[in-house]
Chain A
Amino acid sequence: MAGAAIVRLVAGRELRERSRQKSFKLSTAFIAVALLATVILPQLLTDDEPDSYDVGVVGAVPELVRSTIDGLAAATGSELSVVEVSDLGAGETRVADGSLDLLVTGGEVVVDEQPEVSTTLGRVSGRLAQVLSLSAGFTEAGLTSEEAADALSRGPAPVRSLAAADGEADVASDSPQPLLILGVILLYLSLLTFGVAVATGVVEEKTSRVVEVLLSAIRPHHLLAGKVLGIGVLGLAQLVMVATPALVVAIATGTELPSGSLQTVGSLVLWFVLGYALYSCAYAAAGSLVSRMEEANNTSFPVTFALIAAYGGAIFVGNAPDSGAARVLALFPPTAPLAMPTRAALGDTAWWEVPLAVVLTLAATYGLVRLAGRIYAGSVLRFGPKVKLRQALR
């Protein structure tokens, strides 16, 4: 029987057994719901906001304020209808009963409840209050209404960031950042979950001694490869299963995905495959050194530590995607799986950087597969006390 057929058999068993486990089903459902919530909740919140407002105007409201109302309608994308109100009392009554959303007088803006700054009503009322006070100031300074309008129409001065390379804006407003943050967190959790699953799977086979029966029929590296492959396919399947409902809902409800989203999703999947290949082998080697589940944490700690460091690296890269350190982190194999997708989405990568990171990670994986295979073969049949790395490699 060919090695590939054996690896497929082993992988198939891992896939069947693990996909039946309650913990897998629960975690998949939980992550899917959480992701779905991140797509649906913001929509529910924004959908709560009406897109038309009635703005009452009473008394000597400067022309400047009236023209600001028109400008705000365009800026907020909502309809602001101006309603002339006979006196302040009537206006306040109408604001209180809700037939007016806000009331502008010669000297103040009246609302029913103080609106959140981030809402449309909050922005409109805040800006009107500002313009009211500015126009009073302009009049006192003796500006004509044209001069005042001109002064008001100037936008804010630019804010220049020294960290941004080439003077470019740091993060474009439509960058796929929320998607990236979610994706990197998901990637990190998947690498950790399925990497640890490999380690505990190896220990489990040693603990139950079933490994001796298996190794009387198949080679250690076939067993290792099948286990890694089976659990990896399961990990990838979980990623797809949790992301699909969220994506379907996002597309169905017409949520505009930020530009570059597809590239980001693609690179996250690529780096799951590469990162999992690298880390799962390290976890398998760590697991094979011990015979009891309680000890598995000790030997797999260095691997978990590297993964946590990679996550920290990705956060660093997220804050300064084009710094020298970020470039190195994105190429260095242990950190690349989390750092490179981050840098690729946020930074300014040269054409060769992603391919180089892929090649380096593959090369490191190849070396680790050989090393892990030796450690695994040398230690998987040693039961009892923890096997020293040196013994395993002998």
Chain B
Amino acid sequence: MLELSDLTQRYGNVLALDGVSFSVERGRICGFLGPNGAGKTTAMRAVMGILEPDAGTVRWEGRPINDDVRRRFGYMPEERGLYKTMGVREHLVYLARLHGQSRGDALVSADRWIDALGLTERAESKVEELSLGNQQRVQLGGALAHDPELLVLDEPFSGLDPIGVDVMSEVLRKQAAQGVAVVFSSHQLDLVEDLCDEVVVVHRGAKVLAGEVGALKHEGRRRFAVGIEGDASPALEAVVGVTLVTRRPDGVVVVELEDDVDPQVVLAAASTAGPLTHFSRELPLLSELFRRAVAA
């Protein structure tokens, strides 16, 4: 398990991290979210030991992280970087070896990832001869080539085409299934919603929301979408504890219920107003949760 506790980092007058704590268990995918400049990259660099935070600790499997432990992590920085004149296979082998693999193991796993990432044809090409999308695949391969226990990926989906997104998502799912802890940052919230078991949202250096995606969606007031032939809103607004949120173009009305209101009462009120065409629980999109958390 990866544990960040009370990470604090100041750059001049800017508090980049303000006591951020969260944890990610092995086998789980955590989406690390936040507006630009929220402190995501700083936190990820602290995990990777590239930056020594002013305060706070990072632990893996309950212990502080030393060089040998860190070599079992895989990292993809936001600013991609590879040696442009090295060959693809050569580069992956080099990175795997820097992470402690023997030459033989490094060769085997480099080839395995070259195949898995669809780079077989380009294995001997220089990095600079590849398209940006393919360079990104090599970058991911570099993070994976030494079979890490933890993957820290800063914006892994940015710049990928839909097929690239699918490849990346598939790789992350498989890694998690094999027991790897995965943390990645992204602004593509629909992707995060599909992929992540849990999310952490930071804003201005502080954690503002964290938890399992499913649980977070069920937090707060319940919402229902109600449709009848005709306008349901007058009947629904008449129920105590029900507020109108929006009316959709197709006439379906979304209402929010106070905690003590029974949905059956709402259903009954709607049915009396006219023949029922639609009744469903509305869960907020992750993007709505995000916006609310960041606006607060």
Interface flags for B210-235 (1: CB within 8 Å of A; 0: not) read 00000000000000000000000000
A217, B70: Cα distance in complex, Å: 7
For residue B86, which residue of chain A has the nearest CB? A17
Interface hits, A192-237 → B, CB 8 Å: 205, 208-219
Check if A381 sits within 8 Å of B95, measured CB to CB: no
Check if B100 sits within 8 Å of A1, measured CB to CB: yes
Q: Chain B's nearest CB lies how many Å from the CB of A22?
A: 11
Check if A1 sits within 8 Å of B71, measured CB to CB: yes
Knowing A215-B50, A216-B50, the reply to whether A210 touches B81 (Cβ < 8 A) is: yes
A214, B97: Cα distance in complex, Å: 11
Q: Tell whether B60 is near chain A: CB-to-CB under 8 Å.
A: no
Check if A213 sits within 8 Å of B77, measured CB to CB: yes
Q: Chain A's nearest CB lies how many Å from the CB of B126?
A: 11
Check if A212 sits within 8 Å of B50, measured CB to CB: yes
User: Which of A208, A211, A217, A383 has a CB less than 8 Å from the CB of B98?
Assistant: A217
User: Which of A205, A211, A216 has a CB less than 8 Å from the CB of B70?
Assistant: A216
Interface hits, B66-83 → A, CB 8 Å: 67-68, 70-71, 73, 75-77, 79-83
Interface hits, A169-184 → B, CB 8 Å: none
Q: Tell whether A149 is near chain B: CB-to-CB under 8 Å.
A: no
For residue B49, which residue of chain A has the nearest CB? A216
A217, B66: Cα distance in complex, Å: 11
Check if A208 sits within 8 Å of B83, measured CB to CB: yes
Which residues of chain A are within 8 angstroms of B80 by Cβ–Cβ distance?
209
Q: Tell whether A9 is near chain B: CB-to-CB under 8 Å.
A: yes
Q: Chain B's nearest CB lies how many Å from the CB of A375?
A: 16
Tell me if A's interface is mostly helix, strand, loop or mixed. Answer: helix
Check if B97 sits within 8 Å of A9, measured CB to CB: yes
A154, B261: Cα distance in complex, Å: 132
Check if A9 sits within 8 Å of B94, measured CB to CB: yes
Knowing A213-B75, A216-B70, A219-B67, the reply to whether A381 touches B98 (Cβ < 8 A) is: no
Q: Chain A's nearest CB lies how many Å from the CB of B40?
A: 15
Which residues of chain B are within 8 angstroms of A219 by Cβ–Cβ distance?
67
Check if B75 sits within 8 Å of A381, measured CB to CB: no
Interface size class of B (residues with CB under 8 A): 20 to 34
Which residues of chain A are within 8 angstroms of B81 by Cβ–Cβ distance?
205, 208-213
Check if A216 sits within 8 Å of B82, measured CB to CB: no
Q: Tell whether B48 is near chain A: CB-to-CB under 8 Å.
A: yes
A219, B48: Cα distance in complex, Å: 11
Q: Tell whether A13 is near chain B: CB-to-CB under 8 Å.
A: yes
Which residues of chain A are within 8 angstroms of B86 by Cβ–Cβ distance?
17
Knowing A1-B100, A217-B98, the reply to whether A208 touches B84 (Cβ < 8 A) is: yes
Which residues of chain A are within 8 angstroms of B142 by Cβ–Cβ distance?
213
Q: Tell whether A6 is near chain B: CB-to-CB under 8 Å.
A: yes
Check if A216 sits within 8 Å of B79, measured CB to CB: no
Check if A381 sits within 8 Å of B71, measured CB to CB: no
Check if B48 sits within 8 Å of A216, measured CB to CB: yes
A142, B45: Cα distance in complex, Å: 102
A258, B294: Cα distance in complex, Å: 81
Which residues of chain A are within 8 angstroms of B51 by Cβ–Cβ distance?
381
Q: Chain B's nearest CB lies how many Å from the CB of A12?
A: 9
Knowing A213-B75, A217-B70, the reply to whether A13 touches B48 (Cβ < 8 A) is: no
Which residues of chain A are within 8 angstroms of B84 by Cβ–Cβ distance?
208
Q: Tell whether B99 is near chain A: CB-to-CB under 8 Å.
A: yes
User: Which of B48, B67, B82 has a CB less than 8 Å from the CB of A208?
Assistant: B82
Interface flags for A145-184 (1: CB within 8 Å of B; 0: not) read 0000000000000000000000000000000000000000
User: Which of B70, B77, B98 has a CB less than 8 Å from the CB of A209?
Assistant: B77
> In this complex, which of B68, B76, B94 has the most chain A Cβ atoms within 10 angstroms of its Cβ?
B94
A212, B100: Cα distance in complex, Å: 17
Check if A209 sits within 8 Å of B79, measured CB to CB: yes
A213, B97: Cα distance in complex, Å: 13
A356, B51: Cα distance in complex, Å: 41
A353, B49: Cα distance in complex, Å: 46
For residue B68, which residue of chain A has the nearest CB? A1
Interface flags for B87-112 (1: CB within 8 Å of A; 0: not) read 00000001101111000000000000
Check if A217 sits within 8 Å of B71, measured CB to CB: yes
Q: Tell whether B120 is near chain A: CB-to-CB under 8 Å.
A: no
Which residues of chain B are within 8 angstroms of A218 by Cβ–Cβ distance?
67, 98
Knowing A9-B94, A383-B79, the reply to whether A216 touches B73 (Cβ < 8 A) is: yes
A368, B49: Cα distance in complex, Å: 25
Which residues of chain A are within 8 angstroms of B48 by Cβ–Cβ distance?
216
For residue B97, which residue of chain A has the nearest CB? A9
Knowing A212-B50, A212-B77, the reply to whether A217 touches B95 (Cβ < 8 A) is: yes
Which residues of chain A are within 8 angstroms of B99 by Cβ–Cβ distance?
217
A285, B70: Cα distance in complex, Å: 26
User: Which of A13, A215, A216, A383 has a CB less than 8 Å from the CB of B94?
Assistant: A13
A38, B51: Cα distance in complex, Å: 54
Interface hits, B11-43 → A, CB 8 Å: none
Q: Tell whether B85 is near chain A: CB-to-CB under 8 Å.
A: yes
Which residues of chain A are within 8 angstroms of B75 by Cβ–Cβ distance?
212-213, 216
Check if B77 sits within 8 Å of A9, measured CB to CB: no
Q: Chain B's nearest CB lies how many Å from the CB of A4?
A: 14
A213, B45: Cα distance in complex, Å: 10
Which residues of chain B are within 8 angstroms of A208 by Cβ–Cβ distance?
81-84
A385, B86: Cα distance in complex, Å: 27
For residue A209, which residue of chain B has the nearest CB? B81
Which residues of chain B are within 8 angstroms of A214 by Cβ–Cβ distance?
98
A221, B295: Cα distance in complex, Å: 43
Q: Chain B's nearest CB lies how many Å from the CB of A360?
A: 34
Check if B50 sits within 8 Å of A17, measured CB to CB: no
Excluding A1-B68, A212-B81, 16 further A-B contacts by CB distance (< 8 Å) are: A13-B94, A17-B85, A209-B77, A209-B80, A212-B50, A212-B77, A213-B75, A213-B77, A213-B81, A213-B82, A213-B142, A215-B49, A216-B77, A217-B95, A217-B99, A219-B67
7 contacts between A and B (CB under 8 A): A6-B98, A9-B97, A17-B83, A209-B81, A213-B81, A217-B71, A217-B98
Interface residues of B (CB under 8 A from A): 45, 48-51, 67-68, 70-71, 73, 75-77, 79-86, 94-95, 97-100, 139, 142
3 tightest CB-CB pairs across the interface, nearest first? A209-B81, A210-B81, A216-B75
Interface residues of A (CB under 8 A from B): 1, 6, 9-10, 13, 17, 205, 208-219, 381, 383
